[in-house]
Structure 1
Amino acid sequence: MRAPKTGSAPFDRPILPDVLRPGLRLVFCGTAAGKRSAHEGAYYAHPGNMFWRALFQAGLTPRRLAPQEFPLLPDFGIGLTDLAKRHVGNDDELPRDAFDVPALLAKIERHAPGMLAFTSKHAARAVLGADVRYGLQDRAFGSTKVFVLPSPSGQARGHWDLAHWIALATT
């Protein structure tokens, strides 16, 4: 795969495919594919990212999956998407209009997972507004509950806490 450019020019197609289908118990939503993930064509692919480790440690998957195994997640009732499907980079590198909130809400309405879990407060704020906290939110989208997690990114290590991921698994 070609090395993606970071910045404001959007790609003509999604960087990473959505992993969605009706009947999922949980869908994770990040902000955008990072450079490593875009390059490898796999969600949460940077070795410093805690996503795959957290899924296993929280009991959401029976083993630790490799990033390239992301298409297997629906077998465990889990889906994946991002707010910025056509941009690559860290949150501070994304243009203001990168997030497509209406598209995310349409996907959630169409697939109606049991839970939508944002993998950062930044992603959650883009959809829910400024007043978010970690954990289960008071707001829902139809029958889909909403949960906010600390980012698994290595760059957000100061906010990392596996306890929130464990709480998600038991909610």
Structure 2
Amino acid sequence: MIPGPPTHNPAGQAAGGIIKPTAADLLAAAGRTIPDLIGPGLRVLFSGINPSLYSAATGHHFARPGNRFWPALHGGGFTDRLLHPSEQHLLPGLGLGITNVVARATARADELSTDELVAGGDLLTDLVRRIAPRHIAVLGVTAYRTAFARPKARLGPQPDTIAGVPVWVLPNPSGLNAHFQLPQLAEEFARLRTAVSPPS
């Protein structure tokens, strides 16, 4: 059971108690990194492409307004309520973690070079080898194709592994990804949840 959402909301703060970054904060966040959200015995390690400026400014994964990761995670059945990005610390207790293929924050994922994505794929492989999650889910098929030299990869379970760990590719939950609306994203997340936690 997930604890209830924060209720204290001072003036000037966004929901969940985090201060909304200013335009200057976002500019200053370019190139920053944020820590991975990991723990022992993860069922799924979710890997975004790279942090947004909003995430880098707040220190919370998938924090940019309009990003559908948290609603899709809930809609797919991984959490029993919608979590705010500031509650990301609850995920490892549910067997879930978050990392990124590329660590540096940018305004858009298409600012990343092919070399960065390939190098990020190597670093992600090292992380997966070290923490051994049961599954790795990469959020973005184009980034997965580039980072792991799998040009024909499609959404869903992959025939290949990363460091021996089964891989699932999910759609990029960014609000800029118009190909998938929230109901379709939630369906893809639900497919993964069923695969990693089949009904008993």
TM-score normalised by L of structure 1: 0.88
Give a deviation string over 1:26-72, Cα, whole Å, max 9, x none: 00001111122122221111221110001111110121110111122
* Residue type of the alignment partner of 1:56: H
CA contact (8 A) 1:30 1:123 kept: no
1:112 aligns with 2:129: no
Aligned to 2:189: 165
1:54 corresponds in structure 2 to 72
Name the residue aligned to 2:26. 3
Confirm or deny: 8 A CA contact 1:114 1:143 kept in the other structure: no
User: More deviation in 47-56 or 127-136?
Assistant: 127-136
Contact 1:22–1:110 (CA under 8 A) maintained in structure 2: no
Q: Write the distance in 2 (CA, Å) between the matches of 1:105 and 1:92.
A: 22
* Structure 2 equivalent of residue 84 of structure 1: 102
Higher relative CO (Cα under 8 Å, sequence separation at least 6) belongs to 1
Amino acid at match of 1:170: T
Q: Is the 8 A contact 1:27 1:115 kept in 2?
A: yes
Deviations 1:83-102 (A, max 9, x none): 11123231211233333222
SS in 1 for 2:142: helix
> What residue in structure 2 maps to residue 103 of structure 1?
123
- In structure 2, runs of 5+ residues without a counterpart are 1-20, 196-200
Letter in 2 for 1:110: R
Percent identity of paired positions between Structure 1 and Structure 2:
34
The code of the aligned residue for 1:168 comes to L
The Cα of 1:142 is off from its aligned counterpart by 4.3
Q: Given the alignment, which residue of 144, 163, 169 partners 2:165?
A: 144
CA distances 1:70-115 after superposition (whole Å, capped 9, x unpaired) = 1221011000000111232312112333332221101100111111
Q: Secondary structure at the match of 1:117?
A: strand
Question: Take 1:169 and 1:46, find their aligned partners in 2: how far apart are those partners?
Answer: 24
**Larger Rg belongs to:** 2
Q: Which amino acid aligns with 1:157?
A: A
129-138 or 96-105, which moves further after superposition? 96-105
Consecutive unaligned residues in structure 1, runs of 5 or more: none
Residue correspondences, number: 166
